[in-house]
């Protein structure tokens, strides 16, 4: 319906999460009709990121430098590693200002059905880091999905074998949440993960 270049832009925008054909079309037309300067800046920023952003050699989050600013921070506690599924999880934890250790980003989770094994998400690298004498505890912060739980159990087995303490973040009822609106699975997990007051 549109020219080949516009069609290609629409197809390219559809790769974004939550963006379907209509949303992609709306975005493309908006950029071309009303935000050409912003579209140029967006294209330049995307190109720069694609060329220069890689995985941090320490925690595997996204970084322009070989080591990200968190891994380079001497005030971070090297005795603690928090294992997360994505760089977005690192951002969420950092915004909470409640963790001062290091991270390890998996960029996914175990999923044998999809052919994703331990080496595909860097668990071989994490297992090697468990042999570090400084490391005392691994905090597993994978999502509470079936794959996330399987990944957590795999990490726990490897940590115990290496003599490293392993813990799992709690999942359950959010602060300010009302029990009547929370699903049964979340409530069951919250009850089974309860702790003494």
What pLDDT, in 10s, does the model give residues 139-164? 999 988 889 999 999 999 999 999 99
Check whether residue 9 and residue 95 sit in a common domain. Answer: no
pLDDT of residue 134: 86
For residue 62, being part of any structural domain is answered with no
Do 113 and 153 have their domain in common? yes
Residue 195 clears pLDDT 70, i.e. is over it = no
* CA end-to-end distance (rounded Å), the chain: 64
Reduce the DSSP state of residue 44 to 3 states and report it.
helix
Closest Cα partner for 162 from 75, 81, 71, 72? 81
Within-domain flag for 124: yes
Residues 8-25 as b/e (b if ≥16 CB within 10 A, e otherwise) read ebbeebeeeeeeeeeebb
Within this chain, do residues 24 and 88 fall inside the same structural domain, yes or no?
no
Task: Say if residue 133's pLDDT is above 80.
Answer: no
Instruction: Give the whole-angstrom CA distance, residue 132 versus residue 79.
Output: 9
Domain count of the chain? 2
Residue 123's CB is within 10 A of a number of other CB atoms, namely 19
Residue 64 lies inside a defined structural domain of this protein: no
| Residue 194: pLDDT band with limits 50, 70, 90 | low
196: confidence class by pLDDT, cuts 50, 70, 90: low
* pTM of the full structure: 0.83
Torsion of CA 100, 101, 102, 105, to 10 degrees: -80
43/124 same-domain check: no
Q: Is residue 97 part of a domain?
A: yes
Domain interval for residue 48: 4-52
* Same structural domain, 86 and 14: no
Average pLDDT, the chain: 90
What whole-number distance in Å separates Cα of residue 53 and Cα of residue 66? 10
């Amino acid at each position: 319906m549109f020219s080949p270049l516009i069609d290609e832009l629409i197809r390219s925008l559809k790769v974004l999460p939550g963006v379907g054909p209509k949303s992609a079309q709306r975005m493309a037309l908006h950029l071309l009709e009303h935000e050409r300067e912003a579209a140029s800046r967006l294209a330049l920023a995307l190109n720069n990121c694609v060329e220069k952003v890689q995985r941090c050699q320490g925690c595997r989050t996204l970084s322009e430098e070989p080591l990200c600013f968190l891994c380079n921070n001497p005030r971070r506690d090297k005795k603690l590693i928090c294992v997360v599924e994505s760089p977005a999880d690192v951002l969420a934890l950092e915004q909470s200002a409640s963790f001062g250790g290091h991270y390890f980003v998996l960029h996914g989770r175990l999923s044998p059905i999809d052919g994703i094994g331990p080496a595909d998400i860097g668990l071989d690298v994490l297992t090697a880091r468990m042999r570090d004498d400084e490391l005392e505890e691994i905090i597993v912060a994978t999502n509470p999905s079936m794959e996330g739980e399987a990944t957590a159990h795999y990490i726990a087995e490897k940590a115990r074998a290496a003599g490293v303490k392993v813990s799992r973040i709690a999942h359950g009822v959010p602060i300010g949440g009302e029990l009547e609106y929370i699903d049964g699975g979340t409530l069951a997990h919250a009850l089974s993960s309860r702790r003494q007051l």
